[in-house]
Amino acid sequence: VNPDSDWKFSTAAVLSTGTEILQGLYADTNARFLAEKLSAAGITVTAVAAAPDNPIELEKTFSHLVGRADLVICTGGLGPTEDDVNRDVFSRVLGVGLVLDDASVEAMRERFRMRGREMLDSNKVQAMLPAGCTVFANNWGTAPGFFVPARLTGKAALVALPGPPSEMIPMFNQFVAPLLLECSGGRSCVLTRTIHTFGRPESLINDQVRDLFRRDPDMIYTVLAKPHGVDIRITAHKSGAQAAESAVAELVEATRQRVGPDIIYGFDDMQLQDAVGLLLLEKQKTVTAAESCTGGLIAKLLTDVSGSSGYLKESWVVYSNDAKTRLLGVRAETLEKHGAVSRGVAIEMAAGALERAGSDYALSVTGIAGPLGGTPEKPVGLTYIGFAERGKPTRVERFLFSGNREQNRLQSALNALDWLRRELLGNAP
Ligand code: ATP
């Protein structure tokens, strides 16, 4: 392959083939993998599509994509069976005939021999490849992949790979990835930074950063609502690492000015619990938790972080009323008068945990995670988070979450952790 003439693409389309994908029987993870790799190589992905193993439908979709991108990367449909129609469709649409590739036949025969089996004649069809293509040997399965350059088709170039990810991914890495790097000639540099925020709705953040979306045509700026808060992802496609770095840094700074520094808890791989852990270590403070509806999720998140023994010594899961009283000293009157999900109980849980652990901070959570247990006065999602700090009055906040059980529990734990983060920053909500 001559990278100068054959591997020069600025746009690509990804096509996954297999009727099962369109029936929802498995998730199209190939498309996700390829779209990410192509984008990271500085190639703009203009379409991601899926088509069934039906020659008419496949031909329609494939022809459409061939007209929409410099390169089409297609996975699946290279098997030996009747429904593996891709080779024929590629040949028709691209106007390149199929020829038997002897080296591929030999490689397949050898693979069967090593497994003590005889290759069937029907397998030979897998070695019928577009004339003049570059063959990608399949060391992980049977069907070879291939590359048909645009100079042979007069249209888009084609990369075809087998469907099973266990074959597609290593073949992509071995044959396609190095050439994609060359394809950008080392000129294009793609850099992505993700800003993580917590505590502000997506729509409000969107309003605050509205003018940043289309500031620079070489940048992609997106706002994404995630379970752990709202992420802002900034991607730069620039000529050279330095240009990309400074373009990203400039947009990060502009974002920080608009949303305010306190709701940003980290970048890229950093999670809320990492940010909290770093602050606790820096300020040499310890924390504990008293958890009812979260069942230990706060402690789990805190201890996800290596080195968390530096700030978490112990923690409680107090699910029943009896446990709340016996382990943390929550008063029977408070439970009787206000119920387990109440301000008073959240306060006494946090205060009891703080005292028993001898920590600097204690977080407590009591709530109705659902789906059962809600009443008109105390609906599903109602949650009280308590916050105790050595030498200060214990405080409590009321939340009403609207998710399912798992989401409500996660939001409870994250809000408790974020409260602690803001206190540690000296920026209480
Ligand atoms: P083979 O040579 O094994 O017949 P093939 O190229 O014909 O491979 P398919 O028959 O289309 O591939 O797919 C085989 C299996 O690979 C599917 O049943 C599925 O489990 C997995 N697979 C195929 N395409 C995808 C995809 N886009 N994402 C995730 N998994 C996939």
Is ligand 1 within 6 A of the CB of residue 163?
Answer: yes
Is ligand 1 within 6 A of the CB of residue 423?
Answer: no
Is ligand 1 within 6 A of the CB of residue 84?
Answer: yes
Largest CA distance in the chain: 85
Query: Angle 50-54-58 (CA atoms, 0-180°, nearest 5)?
Result: 45
Q: How far are the Cα atoms of 32, 144, 174, 222, 276 from residue 133, in angstroms, in the given order?
A: 25, 11, 17, 38, 54
Q: 374: buried, middle or exposed (CB in 10 Å: 19+, 13-18, 0-12)?
A: middle
Nearest Cα residue to atom 19 of ligand 1: 164
How far apart CA 159 and CA 175 sit, in angstroms, is 10
- The answer to whether the CB of 287 falls within 8 A of the CB of 302 is yes
User: What are the pLDDT digits (tens) for 64-108?
Assistant: 999 999 999 999 999 888 788 999 999 999 999 999 999 999 999
Is ligand 1 within 6 A of the CB of residue 165?
Answer: yes
User: What are the pLDDT digits (tens) for 260-292?
Assistant: 989 999 999 999 999 999 999 999 999 999 999
Is ligand 1 within 6 A of the CB of residue 162?
Answer: yes
Q: How far are the Cα atoms of 75, 115, 116, 160, 167 from residue 171, in angstroms, in the given order?
A: 11, 21, 24, 10, 6
Ligand 1 atom closest to the CA of 29, numbered from 1: 28
Instruction: Tell me the average pLDDT across 24-45.
Output: 92
Confidence of residue 1 (pLDDT cuts 50, 70, 90): very low
Is ligand 1 within 6 A of the CB of residue 144?
Answer: no
Question: Residue 20: is its pLDDT beyond 50?
Answer: yes
Nearest Cα residue to atom 15 of ligand 1: 164
Is ligand 1 within 6 A of the CB of residue 52?
Answer: no
Half-sphere exposure of 270 (CA within 13 A, CB side): 17
In 202-332 the beta strands, taken as DSSP E runs, fall at 219-226, 229-239, 264-267, 287-291, 316-317
CA of 143 to the centre of ligand 1 (A): 11
* Residue among 58, 78, 128 whose CB has most ligand 1 atoms within 8 A, to mutate: 78
User: What are the pLDDT digits (tens) for 232-241?
Assistant: 999 998 888 8
- Statement: the pTM of the whole predicted model exceeds 0.75: no
Nearest Cα residue to atom 21 of ligand 1: 164
User: What are the pLDDT digits (tens) for 311-354?
Assistant: 999 999 999 999 999 999 999 999 999 999 999 999 999 999 99
Return the percentage of the chain with pLDDT > 90, whole number.
Answer: 84
